[in-house]
Amino acid sequence: MSFDFKLENGDLEFDGSGDILKVFNDNKLRQDVVKIIITPLGSMPLFPWYGSPVTERAIGRTLDARILNTELTNSLQFAIRNLQALQGEQEKSGQFVTPAEIISQILDISIQLSAYDARQYNVSVAVASRRSNIVEESFTLST
């Protein structure tokens, strides 16, 4: 079984005895999806293919709302498909990954302009795992 360290607002989470908490299965998949989306594409020198182009396509751009929404949606789809490819490579290399940690299908990507701040977008992502669980995550992106 694979695992990842539990992150909260970019920081490692610890239990009461000081051990780092771990995430598995659906929670790992949820964290993997968010992590790849919020990591700027090319920001990791050893893994320049990892991340999402969402910041370069959205920040500082004055585009029509429909075009910007399409750009953001395409950026998120790119990142999630990239994660799927990475999961496939993990399997090929012999790493055990549970069916609950592998994306079988992107179900929905929803992006809505915040009613309170025109610089923010409310994002919802839903994917299906190979275990047939639906993993959903919602967060805010600021442009």
Tens-digit pLDDT profile for residues 55-114: 776 666 677 778 888 888 999 999 999 999 999 999 999 998 999 999 999 999 999 888
Is the pTM higher than 0.85? The answer reads yes
pLDDT of residue 9: 80
Domain boundaries, the chain: 4-101
Provide the CATH number for the domain formed by 4-101 in this structure: 3.10.450
Q: How big is the CA angle at 77 (ends 32 and 62), to the nearest 5 degrees?
A: 115
